Structure 1
Amino acid sequence: MRFTNKLCAQHLGWMFKKHWLIQGKRVARDTGAAAELEKLGIAVCDPKDVLKEQRPKTEHKMLVFEDQRVTEIPQDATHPDWHSKPCHIFGDSNVLLEGVAQAQVLTKSIEIEGFPKNIEETINKMQLNSNVDKNVQNSIMLSHVFDAEQVKLPKIKIPERPAFNLPREYGISYSRRRRLLINKLIFECEKLSGNSVTSRRQIFDNANFNVNLLKDDDLLQFELCAETLMTATKPIEAVKGKYEGEIPDLYPIKHTITIPKRNIYAPKNSYPLRSALSCSHPHTIFIHFDKENVKNLHGTPVSTTQFQSRNLMKAFTVASARAKQLYGDSVEQLPKPIVVQSIQTDGKTFHFGVFQLNTLQLNGSDGTKNYWFHLPNVDLFSECTYKVGRPILEGYNKDCFRYLKAFYSNC
């Protein structure tokens, strides 16, 4: 006989297992209920016979499914959007080779240094206290340093050593920095303007515009996006006075150089908001510039004039899309000019411009012309980063926010 350990407690798992084993052998007793129901003439049936669905016996057939894989549409004349006449399509990532001069030829616009008189007067009369500058500086720090996002940033290249790989950095993505900065600066403008102005403004994100135009027998399609679109209950008044200027001569370069040409396209004109809305008039657009996506075809860095031309092209596209929505796709001479303010930034450098659309008759360089008011690029700050573990902001320029506030208040 083998001695075992003394069990001081009953094992609950074993007890429940044995209990269910014993209870499972019990037989249900006859309660006499069935006999009483039969005396009353009520038939008693087995529940399985009632609940079981009676299905007729059918033969099973094999189902054959067709191949549902999407086949690629050939990029040739059999494509449904194929056109014999090619179209030059200008998108968000395209860059004009000759910069502002080429944009002037494409949009038939004259370049005017400075802002319209009403905006200049607003800037000269503007008086902002030190608390406003402090709030703007805090907005810069919150968007560039203090946000919690941590992602892998694009690679840093040294032009003198193109094959050398620097360690990857983590931090706030550049697109998020720009969006946070613009939203916070607009919020500061709203606080200063009051409800009388903010109630007449609406803000939309990622508004897409499409415009199809004909210039000197060349078909042009502009497919551009405004990362932030500000609309107003009434349009901005046309600039007073008449301005004279000449359209640049690009010879021997053609005005469509570096703009891709395709035979497969869908010509259309679209404005993101219905004209019946009370707050559908374009007021100001905010454009993001990302050097990782916007590049020259030959790989060289984007120049200052190319940076500014992108602002002009987007302002022209917004104004043209609105004009075609109001006056029809075939309009050329506008009954009333359309003014659009445009601000482009890479998160640090800002470019302010005002575009007035007078005509969509873009052939040649004579006749009615459009106006493009702008100033050189302005840096909001020189550096905003961590140094020795401490956040710093250097070279803050208060004039940049004053331009933005004047644009917001303009009507």
Structure 2
Amino acid sequence: MYKSTESACKAACVSVRVFCHRSLCLSAALCARPPRPKPREVPHISGLPRISYAERMHYVPGLAKPELQQWERGWKDPNHNTSPPPEHMELYRDKPCYIYNQRTNPLEGVRQALWLTKAKLVSGLPDQILSLAEDPANQIKDQDERVQNAIRHARLWDTTESQPSRERFCPSLLYNLLHLCGGLQVTHPALSRRILAYKYILAASWSRGEDLFQIRGQNGLLLNSMTPLPAMAGPEEIQSTAEHVLETFYPISPTIDLQSTNVYQLKNSTGFRDDYPYPHAHTLYVMEAGNTPRLLPEQLRAKMIMFSFGNALARARALYGNECGVLEKPIVVQSVATNGHLFQFVVFQLNTMSLEEDIGVKNLAWVDADQPLYDFARVQPLIKKKVVQIPAGLSGYQPETFKKFLALYLNGAA
């Protein structure tokens, strides 16, 4: 009995080995199959026309494919428009220009943005804004409760799904917070001298060393004002920035990840007409949701610095022209970015338009990074091993983050 079982096992093992050996041989044969040869290029003899099937009006084996000339319609068809080579375009330049747009993802993040804008980094928000946040006269009635209801509306109430998408709750939360801030117009009448603009196109050009740079395109929701923002740094602090040494990241080029093009126009435009009643950019709101690619927090803060600088530079070009050094009245532009959970705050002050060299007065950029508005907001609780890890509803509300958001909104009106 035992001998027959042993012999059956040996036979089964032999059959498995033969099958595996055949499978390996088959796979090896398939892998060893030579690649298909590329089609042979037909030689072209100058002065000797080929015999093609053009006259027969159909394909004929053995005859060459006819070389047909491009048919000209005689009118411009936008659906079949072929652009000329870049060298033949009217705006072609020999010197390339590096473009920073909404989809740019700079490798070095904030350090690269500081070098491009010739700016000095200051951690935290300015003292003037922090004092606005702590003043009880600038707070909303039942502020914490109303802000939490705004979060619940965006994350919990405005959905029928188990968890709403970021493309839905991020804009909803931002608009809810702006609506709460706008309710202070009764006590702060200067808030009525502002307006929100969306899908405006910005363009700002400058030189940095031997390279040309340009910021252009749409960049977010912009709060415009009839009056400019006050300067955050005084004359003494501005002059002290001349001793600051810009950080370099050699051997990485400062133009890395920027689009290089030879077809461009050196244009400076705020995106609005000259007679626009709200010419001053106040705060730029960037939402990390929608068609734009999702950026890391470091790259998102770099985007905020670059577009705040672009709005300030375009306004300075309109006021003082292209030939201007240190500004008598610095231009301040704020920026707020959020993904529906974390908030990033940037205040940029343009002190000088002399951006070619690294020496001299620098611009200033205050950055307050990664400020959570809450910890969790879940429609359903997170349960693991019959233990509730994260309860349903809103938890971990951070009131200090909204105070900073409100202080930036009230800056210049309180």
Provide the TM-score with structure 2 as the length reference: 0.71
TM-aligned CA distance change 1:238 to 1:68, over 3 Å: closer
Aligned to 2:152: 141
Secondary structure class of the residue paired with 1:356: strand
Cα deviation code 1:45-70 (max 9, x no counterpart): xxxxxxxxxxxxxxxxxxxx856533
Amino acid at match of 1:207: Y
Q: d(CA) in 2 for partners of 1:333 and 1:101?
A: 23
Q: Report what 1:367 is aligned to.
A: 360
Match of 2:407 in 1: 406
Counting aligned pairs with the same residue, the percent is 29
Aligned residue for 2:258?
A: 259
Indicate how the Cα distance of structure 1 residues 126 and 256 shifts in structure 2: closer, same or farther if over 3 A, else same. Answer: farther
| Alignment partner of 1:191 out of 180, 183, 187 | 183
Q: Classify 1:377/1:388 alpha carbon distance in 2 versus 1 (closer, same or farther; 3 Å).
A: closer
Aligned twin of 1:304:
297
- Alpha-carbon distance in structure 1 between the residues aligned to 2:211 and 2:233: 33
Provide the residue aligned with 1:288 in structure 2.
287
Deviation per CA, 1:47-101: give whole Å up to 9, x if none: xxxxxxxxxxxxxxxxxx8565332103431223322211111110111111111
> 1:224 and 1:292 mapped to 2: Cα distance?
14
What does residue 338 of structure 1 align with? 331
1:236·1:410 contact (CA, 8 Å) conserved in 2?
yes
182-191 vs 218-227, which moves further: 218-227
Q: Tell me the equivalent position of 1:392.
A: 393
Preserved CA contact (<8 Å) 1:269 1:329: no
Report the more deviating stretch, 223-232 or 123-132: 123-132
If each structure's helix is expressed as a fraction of its own residues, which one has the higher value?
A: 2
Query: Do the aligned residues in 2 keep the contact of 1:145 with 1:391 (CA within 8 Å)?
Result: no
Deviation at 1:367, TM superposition (A): 0.3
Q: Distance in 2 between matches of 1:201 and 1:77?
A: 45
Offset from partner CA, 1:80-127 (integer Å, 9 cap, x none): 332221111111011111111111110000001122221121223347
Matched with 1:73 is 83
The answer on whether the counterparts of 1:94 and 1:294 sit within 8 Å (CA) in structure 2 is no
**Offset, 1:275:** 4.1
Shift of 1:314: 1.2
Contact 1:193 1:409 in 2 (8 A): no
For 2:172, the equivalent position in structure 1 comes to 180
Look up the match of 1:86. Answer: 96
| Structure 2 residues not aligned, in runs of 5+ | 1-72, 383-390
Q: Deviations over 1:121-140 (max 9, x none)?
A: 12233475782111111112
Higher Cα Rg, which structure: 1
Aligned in 2, Cα 1:327/1:96: closer, same or farther, shift over 3 Å? same
Q: Contact between 2:126 and 2:232, CA under 8 Å: does it hold in 1?
A: yes
Distance 1:66 1:81 in 2: 25
Contact 2:195 2:223 in 1 (8 A): yes
Structure 1 residues 292 and 247 mapped into 2: Cα distance closer, same or farther (>3 Å)? Answer: same
Q: Distance in 2 between matches of 1:269 and 1:129?
A: 39
Q: 1:126 to 1:114 in 2, by over 3 A?
A: farther
Matches within 5 A, 1:11-22: none
User: Partners in 2 of 1:101 and 1:388 — Cα distance?
Assistant: 40
**TM-score of the aligned structures, taking structure 1 as reference length:** 0.72
Written as runs of structure 1 = structure 2, the 5 A alignment for 1:38-57 is none
Instruction: Spell out, residue by residue over 1:5-32, the C-alpha distance to the aligned partner (whole angstroms, 9 max, x if none).
Output: xxxxxxxxxxxxxxxxxxxxxxxxxxxx
Distance 1:138 1:332 in 2: 48
Contact 1:126–1:402 (8 Å) recurs in 2: no
Greater CA deviation, 260-269 or 353-362? 260-269
Give the distance between the partners of 2:183 and 2:283, measured in 1 at CA: 18
Is residue 2:362 matched to residue 1:352?
no
Q: How many Å separate the matches in 2 of 1:393 and 1:130?
A: 21
Partner residue of 1:49?
A: none
How far apart are 1:273 and its partner, in Å?
2.5
Q: Distance in 1 between the 2:299 and 2:153 partners?
A: 30
Equivalent-residue separation in structure 2 for 1:170 and 1:273 (angstroms): 42
**Inter-partner Cα distance in structure 1 for 2:220 and 2:172:** 12
Q: Aligned-pair distance for 1:220? A: 0.7
Structure 2 distance, partners of 1:322, 1:117, is 25
Q: Residue 262 of structure 1 aligns to a residue in which SS?
A: strand
Distance in 2, matches of 1:78 and 1:171, equals: 53
- Is 1:104 equivalent to 2:99 in the alignment? no
The one-letter code of the counterpart of 1:143 is A
Q: CA deviation at 1:170?
A: 8.7
Structure 2: distance between partners of 1:129 and 1:276: 34
Residues 183-223 of structure 1 deviation map (CA, whole Å, 9 limit, x = unaligned): 11111112135251321221112232111111111011111
Segment drifting more, 266-275 vs 211-220: 266-275
Residues 1:223 and 1:129: Cα distance change in structure 2 (over 3 Å): closer
Q: CA separation of 1:122/1:91 partners in 2, compared to 1, >3 Å: closer, same or farther?
A: same
Q: 2:214 aligns with which of 210, 221, 229?
A: 221
Contact 2:140 2:184 in 1 (8 A): no
Q: Output the amino acid matched with 1:136.
A: V
